[in-house]
Chains A and B, each alone.
Chain A
């Protein structure tokens, strides 16, 4: 059935349109299709492609083994045969190990219909027979309204085992939802029946292990029936067999199932999560899993916009790590019921702010109490006050000055009065709206009570900063600090100034920060404020790394380390010491003392984990420093592992686009790039750069650094033109944004030089190298490993220019530094030695360089090095005569 030329043309055109469809992922398919202006035949084919694409179950997703014909023949010829009491009618399904027929029992006085499942002929090995028997046992134990029950079981006269199950006359759950266009609430209601059935099975110690839409039927009365416990297994059963019989359905099977690891009730929770995702979004989960097997963040974006809580529930159920999911179907059901009642769910980060938005939705009338919970924290009253009335009482009782408390509360109450235009809107208030409203009205209402006003402002400042709304946070914190200072509460004033400074750093307003921090350090000179004082010095130290003032930073760190014993007895010691070590790690890293950086980062992780637990953002900071230090040492795998742990924490703690998260994503990309994983680096930076441009603007220094790294990734991939275009766009921006003597600018210039030289623009290349080294020397000195690594690139350039003597002197300068920092047996050192050998050969081909080249080649004989240093390696092999030099490399 070869295609005619006309058909080929149509398919080709349809495929092109389909590629655009994949690229654009239009929300409105009909509208998009209409806009494609295709001929009828092509449009028809395009529709087929899209339908096929959206199909959740294609045989093409199965492994080829499932296609291999069974030599013993299919048993569809069984229609009309009698098995036990059952007369087989039409086949209704065929899986890998069994066929299912609709069957009728006519021996009884009444007519009964069943789904009879037969083990495939030729399959009767004892192991599969056991499976089949187990299904029968399990089903017999599971009598539940939402589980298709067991009616009968036995052996046909030829010994074929069969089981007869309740026949469900209905539709698959996904088709049911589609056909009726069920809304979110109705879907959740229906899905809860599924959860209940699975929970019932789990309470009977049965894990289903193959939950998917085709196993979940809905009958004509809208009642769910769970089918096919064919690979179910008792929880306490030994799982030794599980690795050999990997029966599961891709797209719904949990990562641990695919990997053949321990199966638990959480395995079913995963499948439930992705099925719920499919029902809510209409999309096949298999297309939306990230590398770890969790649902990709962007796949959940649309759902999140519709209902953030539901998205959180789905995400938590489908997390890649079993221990981070709901432990059982019952827990998932519980959270869905909380969602139904608009109550706080378990799946979200349980912050004050989160409770706040939830409360507003559930209880618009008593909304004041919500804001009270934020204000109260600072005024000093217990926290969870869910009723406005009770909040008022508690506040009054706890506060000596009832009049002041009343003023605070009246203000909050008034914010949501009937006159408020918002109360007429159908849309629930968002947290942001609430906060803006509070900020807008606060000044006039509380002027008489400056301390209370300051407390409320302080709470709002903190929340705004956590939400990533830094400008608002700066403003609020500054005002609160002033109020505290006027009231003689110096300590509170210092604390708020620190919040203000942090928000300024977060929003990259670096200039005013330094003066502010110095003020704080001065104001907190008293021993009683040593904690705040040290915190301010740490912030100053971190600021110096933004501006490249590493020597001042080193001095500050040294002081801080000396001061640590002073606070040893204080309760917050671990916290402060942890952050000092984290800052030290950053400094060591900046000054090329990578081993010390790793030590300090590990110290910091220990202390911070002790103080806050393993998932705190500060632990993530320390992980980040550890990761970048390992990264500079060339320990890519260790680095990537730390990066992943860091990103997991950051993603769970910060909203998307938060500076911490952007920083983490940036570092991750750098690891990919420096590790020579260019295709992945390109993909990462393309996406990351776009995300930065969308959220913080194309001119933001972080966006520009993403662009620079995208350019370097293209370069690594050999896409010189793209690299050039990208870097030509980015370099002027970097120059404009970095102060002279910034190491980032230096590195960017050196790499740009390499690209120019690869493109044959030798003079411009030379100029860029010279500029780059000048910047690096000013920033870090010539003994810094970054400088030395720059020299490696420069030496390659000099070799390509037939200047072996010059290359040799570059290498003589670089190698001692590299050996000192990285040790003798390290990728960078071997590259240096390789280039040195090449240079010596270039000066005098008779010189004996074979040993050095041979050793370097042997040491660099891994895939990563082949990708990162193709030309020097090929030259060396050519000299040693192990490879023909191809013409293009001459």
Chain B
């Protein structure tokens, strides 16, 4: 499975970005091969509206099966749920730490958006 982490950076040591819809990038970590790629999200970052919707479409298209981020709004959550993706939130400072917590089973999947839109 591929997990999408919201981040401003391009490495595992980069900070986890608390925003999903307006995250600058997604680090797509492939659990099967322990490799990752980086998906640029700048276009969504600058969207006038619907950033969360488009970000959710983008990570779904990239083949991710789950999302790990800081916060997820209602529109993005609806798209991710429709795509069959689990959404985990964490205050982990880095992508590597968030991944470690996910592997340890310390993250709980959201059952609904944890923030209102435009938080």
Q: Do A and B come from one complex?
A: no
